[in-house]
Amino acid sequence: MGKVEGGMKCVKYLLFVFNFIFWLMGSFVLAVGLWLRFDPETVSLLNGEKAPDTFFIGVYILIGAGSLVMLVGFFGCCGAVRESQCLLGSFFACLLIIFGAEIAAGVFGFLNKDKIIEDVQNFYATTYNENNNSTLILSYEKVLNCCGTIASQCSDPKPGTKDCETGIKDFFNSKLYIIGYVGIGIAGVMVIGMIFSMVLCCAIRNSREVI
C-alpha cells in the first residue's frame, strides 16, 4: 500500500490531532448533556408528573450526539494512522450525517425555544393555582429566587424577588443557549474534519495510483 509523503504526511498527522480533539469535544458534549440532564436545579423544576419533557428531549439529543462524536473521532484517528480509505470514507460519511443532524436539531431548538419556556411556565402556573405551597412550587421559588405569577403575585414578596414566569424564562434561556453554543462549535469543527478527510483520501488514492 502506498504511503503518503511530504505535505500530505503533515495533513495525515493534522487529521489525527484533529480527530483526537474531536474525540475530546465529544466527551465534553456528553458531559454537558449529562450535566443538564442530572443538574439538581433543572431536575427539581421538571420532576412533576405532568411536567413538559421537551427540554429533556433536546438534552437527550445532545447526549446521543456526544456519544456518536466520540465514536466517530475514534474511527477517524484509526483511519488517519492506518491511511485507510475505507475508515476515512466512513468517517466522512458519519461527519456528514452528524452535521445534518446538528442543523436539524438547531432548527428544532430555535423554532421550539419559546414553546419549551411557555410549556414550563404553564406547568408552573397550573401547579401554583392548584397548590401554591407544594414541594414543587417551593423548589421553583428557591432555585429561581421568585414568587408567584404575573397574574397572581405573592402577598409579601422579598425585595428583589421577581415573578416565577420571568424567572423560568431567564433560567431556561441560559440553558438553551449552552446547547446552542455547543452545537455551533461542533458544527464548525466537523466542517474542518470533512475538509481534512477529503484531502487525505485523495492523497492516499493518488499515492496508490502512482505505485
Domain-located, residue 155: no
pLDDT digits (tens, 9 = 90+) for 24-73: 878 887 888 888 888 887 777 777 667 777 777 777 877 887 888 888 87
pLDDT digits (tens, 9 = 90+) for 104-130: 766 766 777 788 888 888 988 888 888
Domain-located, residue 73: yes
Reduced 3-state DSSP string for 120-167: HHHHHHHHHHHCCCCHHHHHHHHHHCECECCCCECCCCCCCCECHHHH
8 A C-beta contact, residue 80 and residue 12: yes
Domain-located, residue 139: yes
Number of domains the chain contains: 1
Residue 204 is part of which domain span?
6-149+162-210
| Polymer length in residues for the chain | 211
Domain-located, residue 89: yes
Domain-located, residue 1: no
Contact residues for 56 (Cβ-Cβ < 8 A; gap 6+)? 37, 46
